[in-house]
């Protein structure tokens, strides 16, 4: 079965009813959350009524888009606004994991806005019917989401005293980073610049080799432990051997502490896909300190994982897979509080896997393949037709493989300005990222020791110098953009 990797990329909040069309509600909420010694003392939870369809002129209804606001440090009329372009999930989760914005708000005197992406979290255009069929899902597109953001900002500027001339900078990571870059490209009069962290805007057909993503995953494991990648490469055959019998399936279920026992070949295939995604997720969140992004993990988690996969001499399939089971439990049970492992879930429930799969089945078509030689996975070609058939069976739609490149310009982005593309050397999504300077104002910042959007996370004493330098440079660009905007105003 061909499918895109479902890899991606808790603030207190109160839901309030919306008001009339084109306006929004602010509700004061006192927060006492403390994260990494940073206190957020004031947050507003708001809703804006937006068109379900921005590009048609029939009355197709409205929906309530949720967004979060902090104006604690925004005291000056015309002060800047840092606007987070929400990803495929609950906006409170992204708000909680984007410490960079919180930490520079005081320095810039900035208002913070975290906008939720339509169809995720509480921003459901058709309520509980939003995912009922392809007709209701039809408005889940990046173009509609960008229009939501643009209208939301216009509404805020019209309604909030002192915000009319506020320069807005878009910030996002992963898919949210793609949106931040595209927001600046498509709506340059709305946002004066964008920070697109770990944003694979070139991970589309014909732009990068389909195997580049998994090569980086493999390199991360190869660098983190002796024979680590080689033993993972051997593990697939071992799984095939052991899963060929009913007793072997039961042994795998027990040694991996699975919640549901493996019963047949289909279960064994799902088990291997789960393990593959586990290794991918570890590469994404290989942070230099303990973190709880996708799962609670130790610092440099791949190094910890690889301690169980350092076999030198040939070992039996059972010995090898026992090591793999212990390695997998570093990811799924580092805290020791998990009683069993569920192979249907590999990350936090705050992410919207079904919504992202629909987007991958329509316009976010990102070819992935493995060869088992330059990477540590079983060989698996990219088969667009098989993927398209799966999308048709699941959603009744077929992907438009070339659409994202057409609508957003592909690799021809030199005419744009004021965009930072930051990428971590450990992050497999850097394979589709912009890793070279395009022009004087469309620039790349590389973080060799960085995993997935490390620069957007809170500062930590264990941060490598490369990410500290990246954040300082990003802040410098922000100041320049704000200065430019004020001159124009």
Phi, psi of 399 (to 5 degrees): -70, 145
* Active-site option among 73, 117, 452, 453: 452
pLDDT band at 76 (very low <50, low <70, confident <90, very high): confident
Residue 4 pLDDT > 70: no
Mean pLDDT of the chain: 90
d(CA 402, CA 3): 17
Residue 348 pLDDT > 80: no
At 171-193, the pLDDT tens digits run 999 999 999 999 999 999 999 99
**Predicted pLDDT at 349:** 59
Look up 90 and say whether it is catalytic.
Answer: no
CB 217 within 8 A of CB 283: yes
* Active-site option among 142, 174, 422, 431: 174
Among candidates 436, 440, 398, which has minimal Cα distance to 415? 440
**Predicted pLDDT at 75:** 86
**Predicted pLDDT at 3:** 35
pLDDT band at 54 (very low <50, low <70, confident <90, very high): very high
Residue 488 pLDDT > 90: no
Among candidates 318, 320, 342, 319, which has minimal Cα distance to 331? 342
- Would the CATH topology of 27-204+406-488 be identical to that of 212-395? no
For the domain bounded by 212-395, which CATH number is listed? 1.20.120.980
**Predicted pLDDT at 26:** 36
pLDDT band at 31 (very low <50, low <70, confident <90, very high): very low
Look up 452 and say whether it is catalytic.
Answer: yes
Over residues 33-41, the mean pLDDT reads 37
**Predicted pLDDT at 487:** 87
| CATH architecture of the domain with range 27-204+406-488 | 3-Layer(aba) Sandwich (3.40)
Higher pLDDT, 36 or 449: 449
**Predicted pLDDT at 140:** 98
User: What residue spans define the domains of the chain?
Assistant: 27-204+406-488, 212-395
**For the whole model, what pTM was predicted?**
0.91
Over residues 380-393, the mean pLDDT reads 97
* Active-site option among 427, 431, 455, 463: 427
Over residues 354-369, the mean pLDDT reads 96
Over residues 427-445, the mean pLDDT reads 98
Q: Which long-range contacts (CB under 8 A, 24 or more apart) does 298-303 make?
A: 298/330, 298/334, 299/462, 300/224, 301/330, 301/331, 301/334, 302/220, 302/221, 302/224, 302/225, 302/228, 303/224, 303/225
């Amino acid at each position: 079965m061909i499918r895109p990797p479902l890899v991606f990329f808790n603030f207190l909040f109160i839901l309030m009813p919306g008001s009339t069309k084109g306006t929004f509600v602010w509700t004061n909420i006192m927060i006492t959350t403390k994260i990494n010694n940073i206190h957020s003392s004031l947050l507003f939870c708001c809703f804006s009524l937006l068109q379900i369809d921005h590009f048609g002129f029939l009355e197709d209804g409205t929906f309530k888009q949720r967004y979060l606001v902090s104006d604690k440090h925004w005291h000056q009329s015309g002060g800047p606004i840092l606007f987070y372009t929400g990803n495929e999930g609950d906006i409170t989760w992204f708000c909680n994991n984007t410490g960079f914005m919180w930490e520079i708000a005081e320095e810039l005197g900035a208002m913070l806005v975290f906008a939720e992406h339509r169809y995720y979290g509480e921003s459901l255009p058709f309520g509980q019917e939003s995912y009922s069929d392809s007709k209701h899902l039809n408005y889940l597109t990046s173009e509609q989401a960008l229009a939501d953001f643009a209208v939301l900002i216009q509404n805020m500027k019209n309604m909030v005293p002192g915000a009319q001339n506020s320069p807005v900078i878009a910030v996002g990571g992963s898919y949210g980073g793609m949106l931040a870059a595209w927001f600046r490209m498509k709506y340059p009069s709305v946002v004066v610049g964008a920070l697109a962290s770990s944003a694979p805007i070139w991970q589309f057909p014909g732009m990068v080799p389909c195997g580049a993503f998994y090569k980086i995953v493999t390199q991360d494991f190869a660098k983190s432990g002796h024979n680590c990648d080689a033993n993972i490469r051997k593990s697939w055959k071992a799984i095939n051997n052991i899963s060929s019998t009913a007793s072997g399936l039961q042994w795998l279920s027990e040694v991996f502490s699975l919640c549901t026992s493996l019963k047949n070949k289909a279960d064994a295939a799902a088990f291997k896909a789960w393990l593959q995604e586990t290794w991918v997720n570890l590469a994404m969140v290989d942070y230099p300190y303990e973190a709880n992004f996708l799962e609670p993990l130790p610092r440099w988690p791949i190094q910890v994982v690889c301690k169980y996969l350092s076999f030198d001499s040939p070992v039996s399939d059972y010995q090898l897979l026992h090591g793999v089971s212990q390695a997998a439990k570093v990811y799924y049970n580092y805290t020791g509080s998990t009683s069993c492992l569920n192979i249907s879930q590999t990350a936090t429930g705050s992410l919207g896997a079904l919504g992202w799969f629909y987007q991958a089945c329509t316009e976010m078509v990102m070819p992935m393949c493995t060869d088992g030689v330059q990477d540590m996975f079983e060989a698996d070609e990219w088969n667009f037709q098989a993927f398209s058939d799966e999308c048709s069976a699941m959603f009744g739609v077929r992907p438009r493989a070339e659409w994202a490149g057409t609508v957003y310009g592909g690799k021809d982005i030199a005419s744009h300005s004021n965009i930072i593309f930051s990428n971590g050397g450990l992050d497999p999504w850097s394979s589709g990222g912009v890793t070279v300077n395009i022009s004087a104002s469309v620039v790349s910042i590389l973080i060799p020791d960085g995993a997935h959007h490390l620069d957007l996370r809170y500062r930590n004493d264990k941060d490598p110098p490369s990410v500290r330098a990246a954040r300082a440079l990003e802040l410098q660009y922000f100041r320049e953009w704000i200065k430019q905007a004020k001159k124009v105003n």
